[in-house]
Amino acid sequence: LAGLLINLTLVARSLRWQAFLSPIRAAKLSNLFAATSVGFGAIFVIGRAGEIIRPAVLSLRERIKPTATFATILIERLFDTTAVVSLFAVNLLFFKLPPDQSNANALDAIRSVGLALLIGVALGIALLVMLRLKAAAVIEWAERQGARLPKKLSYPFLNFIRHLAEGLSVLLNLRALAVTIFFTACVWTLVSAATWLTLFAFGLNFPISHTIFVLGFGLVGSVAPTPGGSAGAFHAAAAKG
């Protein structure tokens, strides 16, 4: 059942990617799902380098410029990072240790970390909104800088900046923002539920707050650039949690 929920995240990610691409170009859901499945499958073969496979596959299927698909992947990562840090931070604010491990100092430290993370997320969101509001000035600056570079280097760079600014327009469009937040919530609700089910399957009947705590550790380990979907690093981090 946990495996089924994790695979459903591919559907939610595809629908969200469609929303991110909408300011740039309409893309078929079938092609988005295929590219997402191939891309996440590649991570299990070559590690985090597989991230580049997903936008490359979509560019071939939809004839969209690679700079556009790479820009939306970056925006997706920003949304995921914000969601995970927010989920982990809010969880830390209300975290309770098991009765046999109760420690007031430890709880204070945990809640301080949670508050610091939330402040960091708020500042990051404010920075992204400012980047979108000042997009014209940023693009103008990038064009001036790009003029010093060979055209073969400056053209993809400028395209990437333009597409990034277009993709960030979801932050200023209430409907688009609501759609992307909804699908982001779907992704991480499914991941959290799958994590709880996996722990439960091995006899660890954790409350959801402890499950999210372990999930946060595991996600830090998943950043390690090792093959097999960060096999080893992910498991060691989750076990530590």
Q: Tell me what the mean pLDDT of segment 68-91 comes to.
A: 83
Q: Tell me what the mean pLDDT of segment 65-88 comes to.
A: 83
The predicted model scores a pTM of 0.78
Is residue 152's pLDDT more than 70? Answer: no
Q: Tell me what the mean pLDDT of segment 158-174 comes to.
A: 70
Q: pLDDT tier at 104 (50, 70, 90 boundaries)?
A: low
- Length of the chain (residues): 241
The whole-angstrom separation of Cα 64 and Cα 72 is 12
Looking at every residue in the chain, the average pLDDT score rounds to 82
> How buried is residue 118: exposed, middle or buried, by Cβ count under 10 Å (0-12/13-18/19+)?
middle
Whose tokens are 């390690």? That residue is 224
Contact predicate 117/95, CB 8 Å: no
Give pLDDT, residue 163: 66
Q: Give pLDDT tens digits for 203-239.
A: 998 888 889 988 888 888 887 777 676 788 888 988 9
Q: Tell me what the mean pLDDT of segment 65-73 comes to.
A: 81
Q: Tell me what the mean pLDDT of segment 188-208 comes to.
A: 93
Q: Give pLDDT tens digits for 116-145.
A: 877 877 787 777 777 777 777 777 777 777
The whole-angstrom separation of Cα 51 and Cα 44 is 11
Q: pLDDT tier at 155 (50, 70, 90 boundaries)?
A: low
Q: Tell me what the mean pLDDT of segment 173-193 comes to.
A: 90
Give pLDDT, residue 165: 72
The tokens for 69 are: 């698909």
For a pLDDT cut of 70, what percent of the chain falls above it? 84
Q: pLDDT tier at 167 (50, 70, 90 boundaries)?
A: low
The whole-angstrom separation of Cα 128 and Cα 120 is 13
The whole-angstrom separation of Cα 24 and Cα 68 is 7
